[in-house]
Homo-oligomer: A and B are copies of this chain.
Amino acid sequence: MREITFMQATLEALSEEMAKNPKIFVMGEGIGKRGGNFNTTKGLFDLYGPDRLCDTPICERGFVGLAAGAAMTGTRPVIDFMFADFILDAAGEIINQIAKIQYMSGGRLKAPVLLRGCIGIGHSAGTHHSGSYYPMYAHFPGLRVVVPSNAYDAKGLLKQSLNSNDPVLFLEHKSLLTKKCPVPEEEFLIPFGKARIVQKGADVTVVALAMMVHQTLEVCKQLEGEGVSVELIDPRTVAPMDIETILDSVHKTGRLLIVDETFAPCGIGAEIAAQVNDRGFDDLDAPIRRLNGAHSPTPYSPPLEAAVVPQPDRIAQEIRDLMAE
């Protein structure tokens, strides 16, 4: 099968859906002729024109709020916000409007807004260009939150997002954009709330997201050599969260580690741990462990930056420690 990058995969998904559905339009800074800061709309301006690939002023709250009204009146806006840090300025429009319109209106209106853009620590981007935010969005009702780790999932989930009637946050880790993997040419969709078992294993369950899937995979072989068989699960969407797949795995392994780049408090790992403790209590042979990035803003300097992100050796050590429990 051909291999394409994460970026190419999402570009394909978007272009295919735009070709099919004239109600889709994209808004963002530099997503018109320029094709997006991360090439997320490369070439689409020439295909679909300026109304459907609309460059915006720097007014995140404004164009996210606009998207709500547009979605309520029959179009399907894609907001390409570049860095997720920027749409904190639009948090009110997302949490109090977009996520609630369906409910507030007793189901009379829908707000199929797709909010997409980059997350993640790396390349000394500094603390205003490194946030991830998915735990925050997963906390609130009314939003789908997608955090793909590879090109295949990204394509299938972006297509699903563009066919969903609910608002979706589609968050793309910067460091994954140029990573390749096999992606079929044929049409496919991936449903929300369906985890992927990245690698089967028997001794310990590791749940990892986005970049951490790759960091964990890196140490799995090594651990195999040490006699530890890791089952690695990528939830792919954090809202909804596919807790069943995780529970099934823990039922088998009895041990669970959640590896997540972003903050621990009230994070994804906390939610998974709480649910597994509740529903898989008798399966647990050891405490559930979380390995998160440091609970601090993201520093700029490379050695500091590396220190606040879970590194493969730390992951390996956590797994060993958990096996020793």
Contacts and interface: CB of A to CB of B under 8 A. Distances in A.
A92 B140 CA distance: 17
Interface residues on A, range: 35 or more
Given A92-B91, A266-B271, A278 B297 contact: no
Given A91-B89, A278-B288, A265 B138 contact: yes
A142 to B, nearest CB: 7
A85 B96 contact: yes
Number of copies: 2
A66 interface: no
A171 to B, nearest CB: 14
Contacts of A135: 139, 266
A317 interface: no
Nearest to A87: B92
Interface string A80-112: 000001101101100110011001100000000
Contact of A127 (B100, B269, B287): B100
Contact of A297 (B61, B100, B290): B100
A279 B295 CA distance: 18
Interface of A: 61, 85-86, 88-89, 91-92, 95-96, 99-100, 103-104, 127-128, 131, 135-136, 138-142, 239, 241, 263-271, 273-274, 277-279, 281, 284, 286-290, 295-297, 299
